[in-house]
Amino acid sequence: MLVIVAPGQGAQSPGFLSAWLEIPGVKDRLSAWSEVAQLDLVSYGTTADADEIRDTSVAQPLLVAAGLVAAEALLGPDVPAGVVAGHSVGEFTAAALAGVLTPEQALALVRERGQAMAKAASVTRTGMTALLGGDEAEVLAAIERHGLTPANINGAGQIVAAGTIEQLDALAADPPARARPLSVAGAFHTHHMAPAVEHLRAEAAAITPGDPRVTLLSNSDGAAVTSGAEFVGRLVDQVGRPVRWDRCMATMQDLGVTAMIELLPGGTLTGLAKRALRGIETVALKTPDDLEAARALISKETAQ
């Protein structure tokens, strides 16, 4: 069984969309979506520097657009996957692939999400730090001791702590595992995002979602959600709740997933899968050169 996954914030890098513009129709698609996102997605994906695309209000629509345009280049109108999932903002990409939202609805809603989260993050200086390796119980205890939140429990020995810069500095001075600050501009998936949750709930109320056409996993608990309305409600709440990617991967294993394709900008989630889902075949879409391997993996999985 094939799963298609979409990465979250922090996966972006300067110029990561440049080579994709050589594919016919991609630039036009991104230009049309730029009007929806109220951002120049082509410029941000090709010529903007790291600081510009680190901005939450830019990064989130940019990542969703990148994932969707790569999916169109790979899949066309069909989604041959048995399972679809996204990490954090990648859930909006997954929702569009599954038919819960249209691409335009996903981009309009994620535009509001990014702006609201950026505004919430501006109230207090906050951030996120990945803790790699170490004993899980000790890592979680250290996070709690410093007043932080385990905002992402990603599995494969990776937990992300989130909170104020002062709290993160104290954690870094005595880390329970290898610590790596993340290129994000706030303590996402924590109580610091409460104002953003309320704003997004109001925006989402105007949307009539469809029910998923494929198995769609939720970051809340790894469960497969069959109701589009429920999934959109979870998208809203997830802004202020921890991402349980470990549980998503556990569900993938239970469902018998044997192959994973990670949409642009790929690498993070396939890396976790190689460590947590032993024997899984993976392809991470980074450049258009990766499309051939992804198509071959799809053909192999659909032939079985």
Long-range contacts of 71-79 (CB under 8 A, 24+ apart): 71/4, 71/97, 71/263, 72/29, 73/20, 73/23, 73/26, 73/288, 73/291, 74/261, 74/263, 74/285, 74/291, 74/294, 74/295, 74/298, 75/298, 79/4, 79/213, 79/214
Quick one: pLDDT at residue 115?
A: 96
Quick one: pLDDT at residue 85?
A: 98
Q: How far apart are the first and last CA of the chain?
A: 9
Say what percent of the chain tops pLDDT 90: 92
Give the alpha-carbon dihedral of 9, 172, 120, 106, to 10 degrees.
Answer: 10
Quick one: pLDDT at residue 80?
A: 76
Quick one: pLDDT at residue 303?
A: 75
State yes or no: pLDDT of 223 exceeds 90: yes
| Helix or strand run (H / E) with residue 253 | helix 245-255
Say what percent of the chain tops pLDDT 70: 100
The one-character DSSP state at 289 is G
Please name each of the domains of the chain with its CATH number.
2-119+190-303 (3.40.366.10), 126-181 (3.30.70.250)
The token duo for 186 is 């706030």
Mean pLDDT, residues 240-268: 97
Which residues, listed in sequence order, are joined to residue 155 by a DSSP beta bridge?
158
Mean pLDDT, residues 21-29: 96
Mean pLDDT, residues 106-133: 95
Q: Which residues contact 86 (CB under 8 A, 6 or more apart)?
A: 5, 6, 7, 8, 67, 92, 93, 94, 95, 219
Q: Are 283 and 262 in contact (CB under 8 A)?
A: yes
Rg of the chain over Cα atoms, rounded to whole angstroms, equals 18
Quick one: pLDDT at residue 242?
A: 96
Is 31 noted as a catalytic residue in this protein? Answer: no
Output the CA–CA distances (angstroms, integers) from residue 214 to 78, 80, 81, 201, in the order listed. 11, 9, 7, 25
Quick one: pLDDT at residue 108?
A: 97
Quick one: pLDDT at residue 302?
A: 84
pLDDT digits (tens, 9 = 90+) for 169-213: 999 999 999 999 987 879 999 999 999 999 999 999 999 999 999
Is 88 noted as a catalytic residue in this protein? Answer: yes
Output the CA–CA distances (angstroms, integers) from residue 232 to 77, 85, 206, 284, in the order listed. 22, 14, 11, 26
State yes or no: pLDDT of 137 exceeds 90: yes
Write down the catalytic residue from 189, 199, 218, 220.
189
Distance CA 38, CA 176 (A): 42
Quick one: pLDDT band at residue 156, thresholds 50, 70, 90? confident
Distance CA 228, CA 246 (A): 23
State yes or no: pLDDT of 248 exceeds 80: yes
CA 64 to chain centre: 8
Write down the catalytic residue from 57, 88, 218, 220.
88
pLDDT digits (tens, 9 = 90+) for 46-97: 999 999 999 999 999 999 999 999 999 998 777 777 999 999 999 999 999 9
